[in-house]
Amino acid sequence: MNTASRTAVVTGGSRGIGRAVASRLAAAGQDVAVVYASNTKEAEAAVGEVEAAGARGIALRADVADEVSIAAAFDEVEQRLGPIDVVVNAAGVMALRPTTELELAELDQLLRTNVRGTFVVVREAARRVRAGGAIVAFSTTVTRTHLPSYGAYAATKGAVEAMVPILAKELAGRDVTVNAVAPGPTATELFFEGKTQEVIDRIAGMSPMKRLGTPQDIAEAVSFLAGPGRWVNGQVVFVNGGIA
């Protein structure tokens, strides 16, 4: 598929996987709006990478869980870059703690960003993405591996997995695909936070590839779903190097 003259919105696009996705979509010829929560410097750097790939880029600050904020961001994308073809919701937060130790305030934040935030973004995307477009949400391989301390986080991503096939069916006849990518352990700041090297090495060894994934590994899968992968719809695609 020729992705030239297409516009993508990537939430959580200032760092980690979201930033790699923004750069990869730009390399495929798509203009990219980087939506970020707070770090303006990193968002501007992400836009610089988009522009270095030959595409137009803008940075927009918005709260994914705030429907007014997201609607305003989408309005600005349409005004500055044109009609929206692709929306990737890579924004997310993680709190790792055994169920008996997790504070309810932490659970509330997980639910607000990962569940409400995903719903707000994909709902707005469903209202705006034009024919031939794609919506990509994010889950996690931990919904299958069931690792201790990931209970609340995995629960929020399970909610995302429930949304995706339903929205795909609701958009029947629109020629818009809806999928989720479920990364395995990936070398990002979010993954490394609070982990010892011993834990990192043990988790990396879970994959038959015997390494952590990279943000670029995940971005390749997103780019496929956002471009040529038109016959993949309503699916959760596990991108994890073979972790069962």
Amino acid 194: pLDDT: 82
Distance of CA 178 to the CA centre of its chain: 12
Structure tokens of 74? Answer: 């989408």
Amino acid 191: pLDDT: 86
CA distance 60 to 43: 8
Q: Is 150 a catalytic residue?
A: no
Amino acid 167: pLDDT: 98
Structure tokens of 30? Answer: 């798509």
Walk me through the domains of the chain, giving residue ranges and CATH numbers.
6-182+217-229 (3.40.50.720)
Amino acid at 30: Q
Annotated active-site residue in 119, 153, 224, 238: 153
Amino acid 84: pLDDT: 98
CA distance 193 to 25: 27
Contacts from 40-45 at CB under 8 Å and sequence distance 24+?
42/14, 42/15, 43/13, 43/14, 45/14
Amino acid 27: pLDDT: 96
Amino acid 116: pLDDT: 98
Distance of CA 39 to the CA centre of its chain: 17
- Please check whether residue 183 is in contact with residue 17, taking contact to mean a CB–CB distance below 8 angstroms: yes
**Sequential pLDDT tens for the chain (244 residues):** 455 579 999 999 999 999 999 999 999 999 999 999 999 999 999 999 999 999 999 999 999 999 999 999 999 999 999 999 999 999 999 999 999 999 999 999 999 999 999 999 999 999 999 999 999 999 999 999 999 999 999 999 999 999 999 999 999 999 999 999 999 999 998 888 888 999 999 999 999 999 999 999 999 999 999 999 999 999 999 999 999 7
Backbone φ and ψ for 20, nearest 5 degrees, come out as -65, -35
> Tokens 């929206």 correspond to what residue?
84
Residue 166 CB coordination number (10 Å): 11
Alpha-helical runs (H) found in 13-134: 16-27, 40-52, 67-80, 104-110, 117-128
> Rounded to 5 degrees, what angle do the CA atoms 161, 236, 116 make?
30
Q: Which helix (DSSP H) or strand (DSSP E) does residue 170 occupy?
A: helix 151-170
